[in-house]
């Protein structure tokens, strides 16, 4: 038996606001950050790493929330915990007192996600495989056992989830081979940050197309005339066959979203992302109906599976954008993948930030191998920031993510970066 001995936490921040990387209509000056946790055990094996992505101020609050989970795990039997990750999820999410701080949303819920992802990192490292392979190798019954169906059964019963997973079982081997040979399709947000000038937008759009990407994304929602001009530049350079998504980062009310998107419709946007509040299921549904055939995409700020369930029930989103660190970890994202499969809606994960690409690629790949069984209309976001800090950085070739090969969940930041980026005393900040 091995025991969990420590949850060590780190407040890591990267001074991205100095370059306006990551600037958009709602987030003009982010300092990409990670509330980072290492789960240690008393054996000689690996540690588990996990984190919550934030954009600067408040990363210390996020760390405090992870710290609050320490008493629930230190002293626990690591083997038993990893052998029943469905119970581990419930133990953390349903703590009778901590639950009040959400419930199942915000800082406390994300903290649980970081810890669960660290446990998954540990499990994958112990198994000697990358997380996507570990998960893709589970039986349908094992996957269903990882999911808490509370509040979901009006849309998806466990039996139905099992059926979906069984239907996808036959092709697993073939799709795994396909992933290893060709990777997973990506799109890039690199050209389109709101803080970039037209020349930089044009150059980066050209480079993205040349690099093999078939979809790019532009931030919008600051100023309509600017958006029209910028989208025109991108469309002219990209040509008619490259998909261009637009992303408003929650900038609009319902009517405003509809008016704005209609003005941009001549440039054939593939989807409009986060047109309004991520909590507004009915608002997204109204927008989706009024701007069709332009698709609505959302998810990076959707608090939990219950809101995703409703977005799907209401036809409010045509693209499900899971995020690796917004919900309570791998388990809850599996629930969301199952919901999306049930409703036949493609999952195109949110990534970027710091480490989100590294982590969420595993979930996109599980979706392909074991859940939806498809990459049709599925693309995984790619942003070329901060990968150098990770032990297993993503590898992009010809507009596709290559399948990770190293054991783990992609969550591990290299030791020198843990030191240099520690806030406020690391060398980057002093």
Residue 151 falls in which region: left (phi positive, over 0), alpha (psi -120 to 50) or beta: left
Give the SS3 label for residue 370: helix
Among residue numbers 215 through 234, which ones bind a copy of itself (CB under 8 A)?
A: none
Tell me if 263 sits within 8 A of 224, measured CB to CB.
Answer: yes
Candidates 73-81, 127-135, 296-304, 407-415 — which segment interacts with a copy of itself by CB under 8 A?
296-304
Q: Per the residue annotation, which of 350, 362, 389, 421 is the catalytic one?
A: 350
Tell me if 419 sits within 8 A of 429, measured CB to CB.
Answer: no
**Closest CB 414 distance from a copy of itself, rounded Å:** 24
* Residue closer to a copy of itself (CB basis): 60 or 79: 60
Among 185, 278, 352, 399, binds a copy of itself (CB under 8 A): 278
* Residue closer to a copy of itself (CB basis): 307 or 324: 307
* Residue closer to a copy of itself (CB basis): 112 or 122: 112
Does residue 244 interact with a copy of itself by CB under 8 A? no
Dmax over CA atoms of the chain, in Å, equals 63
Please, which residues bridge with residue 331 across strands?
none
Among 3, 6, 15, 64, binds a copy of itself (CB under 8 A): 64
**Closest CB 411 distance from a copy of itself, rounded Å:** 19
Instruction: Please give the Cα distance from 315 to 283 (Å, whole number).
Output: 11
Among 301, 374, 384, 429, binds a copy of itself (CB under 8 A): 301
**C-beta neighbour count of 162 within 10 angstroms:** 16
Token pair, residue 304, equals 């939990």
**Closest CB 376 distance from a copy of itself, rounded Å:** 28
* Residue closer to a copy of itself (CB basis): 5 or 313: 313
Instruction: Please give the Cα distance from 274 to 371 (Å, whole number).
Output: 25
Residue 100: DSSP 8-state: G
Q: Per the residue annotation, which of 219, 284, 385, 389 is the catalytic one?
A: 219
Task: Write phi, then psi, for 323 (nearest 5 degrees).
Answer: -130, 140
* Residue closer to a copy of itself (CB basis): 68 or 146: 68
* Residue closer to a copy of itself (CB basis): 261 or 366: 261
**Closest CB 310 distance from a copy of itself, rounded Å:** 5
* Residue closer to a copy of itself (CB basis): 278 or 355: 278
CA distances from 199 to 203, 237, 248, 383 (A): 6, 12, 21, 19
**Closest CB 95 distance from a copy of itself, rounded Å:** 7
Candidates 2-10, 106-114, 122-130, 364-372 — which segment interacts with a copy of itself by CB under 8 A?
106-114
Tell me if 47 sits within 8 A of 82, measured CB to CB.
Answer: no
* CB within 8 Å of 246: residues ≥ 6 apart: 217, 218, 219, 220, 227, 231, 261, 264, 269, 271, 272, 273
Active site residue 219: yes
* CB within 8 Å of 404: residues ≥ 6 apart: 130, 131, 132, 361, 362, 392, 394, 410
End-to-end, the C-alpha distance of the chain in Å comes to: 43
Give the SS3 label for residue 387: helix
Task: Write phi, then psi, for 240 (nearest 5 degrees).
Answer: -75, -20
Does residue 153 interact with a copy of itself by CB under 8 A? yes
- How many Å separate Cα 119 from the centre of its chain? 17
Size of the site for a copy of itself (CB under 8 A): 63
Instruction: Please give the Cα distance from 105 to 327 (Å, whole number).
Output: 7
Active site residue 342: no
- How many Å separate Cα 379 from the centre of its chain? 12
Tell me if 318 sits within 8 A of 344, measured CB to CB.
Answer: no
**Closest CB 58 distance from a copy of itself, rounded Å:** 5
* Residue closer to a copy of itself (CB basis): 250 or 375: 250
Does residue 61 interact with a copy of itself by CB under 8 A? yes
Does residue 137 interact with a copy of itself by CB under 8 A? no
Does residue 107 interact with a copy of itself by CB under 8 A? yes
Give the SS3 label for residue 202: helix
Among residue numbers 18 through 37, which ones bind a copy of itself (CB under 8 A)?
A: 26-31
Candidates 252-260, 264-272, 331-339, 414-422 — which segment interacts with a copy of itself by CB under 8 A?
252-260
Does residue 62 interact with a copy of itself by CB under 8 A? yes
Candidates 1-9, 97-105, 139-147, 413-421 — which segment interacts with a copy of itself by CB under 8 A?
97-105
Sites of contact with a copy of itself (CB under 8 A): 26-31, 54-58, 60-62, 64-65, 67-68, 71, 95-110, 150-154, 250, 253-256, 276-283, 286, 301, 303-304, 306-307, 309-310, 313-314
Active-site amino acid positions: 219, 350
């Amino acid at each position: 038996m091995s025991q969990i001995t420590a949850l060590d936490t780190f407040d890591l921040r990267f001074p991205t606001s100095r370059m306006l990387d990551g600037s958009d209509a709602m987030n003009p000056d982010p300092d990409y950050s990670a509330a980072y946790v290492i789960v240690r055990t008393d054996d000689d094996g690996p540690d588990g790493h996990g984190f919550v992505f934030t954009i600067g101020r408040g990363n210390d609050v996020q760390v405090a929330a992870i710290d609050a989970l320490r008493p629930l795990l230190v002293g626990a039997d690591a083997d038993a915990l990893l052998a029943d990750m469905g119970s581990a999820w419930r133990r953390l999410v349903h703590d009778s007192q901590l639950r009040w701080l959400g419930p199942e949303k915000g800082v406390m819920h994300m903290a649980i996600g970081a810890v669960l992802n660290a446990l998954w990192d540990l499990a994958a490292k112990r198994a000697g495989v990358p997380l996507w392979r570990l998960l893709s190798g589970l039986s349908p019954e094992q996957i269903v056992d990882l999911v808490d169906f509370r509040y979901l059964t009006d849309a998806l019963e466990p039996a139905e989830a099992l059926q979906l997973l069984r239907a996808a079982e036959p092709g697993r081997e073939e799709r795994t081979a396909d992933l290893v040979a060709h990777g997973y399709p990506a799109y890039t947000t690199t050209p389109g940050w709101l803080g970039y000038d037209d020349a930089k937008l044009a150059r980066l759009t050209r480079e993205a197309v040349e690099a093999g990407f078939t979809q790019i994304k532009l931030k919008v929602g600051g100023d309509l005339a600017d958006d029209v001009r910028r989208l025109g530049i991108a469309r002219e350079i990209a040509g008619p066959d490259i998909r261009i998504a637009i992303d408003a980062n929650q900038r609009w009310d319902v009517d405003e979203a509809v008016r704005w998107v209609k003005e941009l419709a001549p440039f054939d946007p593939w989807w409009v992302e986060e047109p309004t509040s991520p909590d507004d299921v009915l608002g997204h549904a109204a927008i989706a109906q009024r701007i069709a055939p332009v698709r609505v995409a959302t998810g990076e700020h959707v608090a939990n599976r219950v809101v995703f369930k409703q977005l799907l029930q209401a036809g409010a989103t045509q693209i499900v954008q899971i995020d690796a660190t917004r919900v309570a970890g791998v388990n809850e994202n599996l629930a969301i993948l199952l919901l999306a499969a049930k409703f036949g809606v493609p999952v195109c994960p949110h990534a970027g930030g710091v480490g989100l690409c590294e982590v969420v690629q595993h979930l996109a790949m599980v979706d392909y191998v074991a859940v939806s069984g498809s990459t049709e209309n599925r693309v995984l976001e790619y942003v070329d920031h901060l990968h150098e800090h990770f032990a297993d950085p993503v590898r992009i070739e010809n507009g596709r993510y290559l399948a990770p090969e190293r054991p783990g969940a992609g969550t591990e930041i290299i030791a020198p970066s843990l030191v240099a980026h520690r806030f406020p005393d690391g060398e980057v900040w002093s």
